[in-house]
């Protein structure tokens, strides 16, 4: 038995099997069931093969321009077959029963430790080559995994999360019915984890310094948020006492906010909707207290490999059930937001077949997605629009177009909506008026927001892509992913610009994306003048509690200070200081 002492920030005692999250390295470590080992090995091998093909393509492009650089990629291709890398990671999956991502991360750490001991400077510098290859393997392991939530969904019941740090945006994606408590290396009573733990009403201990290194995945752990203590491999007596205390603890703090509407401490109403990906998520949204669905990602109908491409009637049934299930609340459905590769992969059957450019004829895959792709494939777009308009009479529907860059696209899309409505009326259908909006997620839309506002009924600010395109950062590229910064001054100023354009034209504007799921960022966004947000359902109870503890006038003052700061680091420091003062109240 081992006792680790930290700072208790949320009272209560829980026990469970440890899941290890190393967020700085973007690695999640958890034990897998024996039956899942073959699937993890398949994922690892698929990642290796994708990495091999990518490196071969990169080598070919580079060798045409810089033949002397091709040898760098020869070395990485050889590393892919080195028994000390992927095969060793596979052995870890088999023997330790850990997930493939962690196995790759662990092998790299061992490899780096060996190279760091080597006296030869040339060999030591090869660490960067290995890191680049490992980053590629990790990136390819993430294919088919939409978000951290998908990894965390694989956890067993009664888990305890042990992390180096736990950001609110990630915590919002955890299923807290499975994860009963958490412990982190970082944190203090005045850090955002204090608000996080109190909002979730789960026992938590922070400031443990090295718990994520000492605790192994699958260890039995007791988290005592009252005493500020974590017990690893507890005795039967300690475990029995923890179980008794857990049964006595009534975990209703987070749930108490479910039935009430969100508002700040000074009474300013805030609307909180839910983002969902599948119709089955509707129950979670209602349970969390969402006022509506702020973003339904309809593209799963095309990209879900387990389901056929759906026709108009099938789409209609899905949309109808969703509108009826959320009635009388509002449901915003985003038209298909896929790129040409995702669409091309489904062209072998159904109404999408034929007429697509082969790979050799494409000059680029960049940018043909969202509304642009829908307009390029009008037969696909019309099927979806007719299904949506038919379903509209069953609830409060809004349609939002993704990846819009200008007024011409919106006018053409609205013309097609009108044509679909006319066709349906000709069939004898009743078609109510449906509000049409756009997602502001690329700079062209943001800088013409005043023009777009004249053409649509509402805006949705899509922060995930907006940050990526404004800062020219590919979130999947680990070499630059650290530059993906929501608090960059440019991002905050763009958000303000869009909000003002919407206000001038008197149309509602909401914000969706990971920014809304982070309680600290949420308070700043309120200060910037936003009043409607859409987020993952699990973040809603936390958001309600945090909002109830802040005053909108104080947040406006904070926002004015923040907008004058020149760097993301200074903005974050100012914001965290404000959050820290809040947690002491």
Catalytic residue IDs: 192, 512
Confirm if 337 and 367 have CB atoms less than 8 A apart: no
Indicate left, alpha or beta for 7 from its phi (over 0: left) and psi (-120 to 50: alpha).
beta
Strands 220-224 and 13-22: antiparallel
Rounded to whole angstroms, how far apart are CA atoms 214 and 196?
24
- Short-list 293, 366, 289, CA closest to 326: 293
- Short-list 117, 120, 118, 95, CA closest to 106: 95
- Short-list 295, 302, 279, 331, CA closest to 513: 295
Residue carrying structure tokens 């718990």: 211
Helices (H), 505-567: 514-517, 519-527, 540-548, 552-562
Confirm if 450 and 458 have CB atoms less than 8 A apart: no
Distance of CA 307 to the CA centre of its chain: 23
Question: Considering Cα of 131, then 132, then 136, then 142, what sign does the dihedral take?
Answer: positive
Rounded to whole angstroms, how far apart are CA atoms 82 and 114?
15
Q: 3-class DSSP state for residue 522?
A: helix
Confirm if 375 and 381 have CB atoms less than 8 A apart: yes
Rounded to whole angstroms, how far apart are CA atoms 525 and 514?
12
Rounded to whole angstroms, how far apart are CA atoms 231 and 218?
14
Q: 3-class DSSP state for residue 373?
A: helix
Distance of CA 78 to the CA centre of its chain: 34
DSSP 138: H
CA distances (Å), origin 112, targets 89, 108, 122, 129, 529:
14, 6, 14, 11, 47
H-run or E-run covering 294? strand 293-297
H-run or E-run covering 510? strand 509-512
| Gyration radius of the chain over CA positions | 25
- Short-list 257, 180, 153, CA closest to 519: 257
Confirm if 162 and 19 have CB atoms less than 8 A apart: yes
């Amino acid at each position: 038995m081992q006792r680790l002492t930290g700072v208790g920030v949320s009272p209560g005692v829980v026990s469970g099997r440890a899941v290890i999250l190393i967020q700085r390295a973007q690695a999640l470590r958890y034990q897998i069931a024996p039956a899942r080992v073959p699937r993890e090995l398949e994922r690892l091998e698929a990642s290796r093969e994708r990495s091999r093909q990518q490196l071969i393509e990169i080598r070919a492009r580079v060798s045409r321009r810089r033949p002397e650089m091709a040898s760098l990629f020869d070395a990485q291709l050889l590393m892919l077959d080195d028994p000390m890398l992927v095969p060793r990671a596979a052995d870890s999956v088999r023997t330790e029963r850990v997930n493939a991502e962690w196995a790759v991360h662990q092998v790299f750490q061992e490899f780096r430790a060996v190279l760091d001991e080597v006296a030869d400077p040339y060999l030591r510098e090869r660490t960067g080559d290995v890191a680049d290859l490992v980053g590629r393997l990790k990136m390819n392991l993430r294919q088919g995994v939409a978000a951290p939530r998908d990894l965390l969904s694989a956890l067993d019941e009664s888990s305890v999360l042990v992390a180096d740090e736990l950001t609110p945006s990630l915590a919002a994606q955890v299923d807290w019915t499975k994860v009963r408590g958490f412990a982190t290396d970082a944190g203090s009573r005045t850090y955002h984890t204090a608000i996080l733990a109190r909002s979730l009403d789960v026992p938590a201990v922070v400031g443990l310094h090295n718990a994520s290194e000492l605790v192994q995945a699958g260890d039995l752990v007791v988290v005592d948020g009252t005493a500020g203590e974590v017990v690893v491999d507890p005795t039967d007596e300690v475990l029995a006492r923890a179980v008794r205390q857990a049964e006595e603890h009534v975990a209703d703090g987070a749930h108490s906010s479910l039935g009430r509407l969100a508002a700040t401490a000074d009474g300013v109403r805030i609307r909180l909707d839910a983002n969902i990906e599948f119709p089955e998520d509707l129950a979670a949204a209602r349970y969390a207290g969402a006022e509506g669905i702020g973003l339904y990602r309809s593209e799963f109908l095309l990209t879900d490999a387990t389901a056929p491409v759906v026709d108009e009637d099938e789409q209609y049934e899905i949309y109808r059930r969703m509108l009826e299930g959320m009635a009388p609340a509002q449901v915003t459905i985003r038209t298909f937001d896929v790129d040409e590769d995702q669409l091309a992969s489904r062209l072998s059957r159904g109404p999408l077949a034929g007429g697509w450019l082969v790979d050799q004829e494409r000059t680029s895959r960049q940018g043909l997605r969202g509304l642009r792709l829908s307009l390029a494939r009008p037969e696909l777009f019309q099927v979806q629009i007719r299904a949506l308009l038919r379903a509209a009479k069953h609830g409060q529907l809004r349609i939002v177009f993704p990846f819009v860059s200008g007024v011409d696209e919106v006018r053409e899309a609205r013309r097609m909506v009108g044509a679909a409505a006319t066709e349906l009326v000709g069939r004898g259908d009743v078609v109510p008026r449906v509000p049409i909006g756009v997602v502001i997620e690329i700079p062209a839309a943001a800088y013409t927001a005043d023009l777009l506002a004249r053409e649509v009924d509402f805006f949705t600010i899509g922060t995930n892509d907006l940050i990526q395109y404004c800062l020219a950062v590919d979130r999947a590229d680990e070499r630059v992913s650290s530059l993906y910064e929501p608090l960059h001054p440019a991002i905050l100023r763009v958000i303000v610009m869009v909000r003002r354009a919407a206000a001038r034209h008197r149309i509602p504007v909401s914000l969706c994306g990971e920014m809304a799921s982070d309680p600290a960022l949420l308070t700043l966004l309120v200060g910037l003048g936003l009043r409607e947000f859409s987020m993952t359902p699990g973040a809603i109870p936390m958001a309600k509690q945090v909002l109830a503890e802040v005053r909108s006038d104080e947040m406006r003052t904070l926002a004015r200070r923040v907008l004058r700061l020149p760097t993301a680091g200074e903005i974050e420091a100012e914001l965290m200081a404000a959050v820290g003062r809040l947690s002491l109240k």
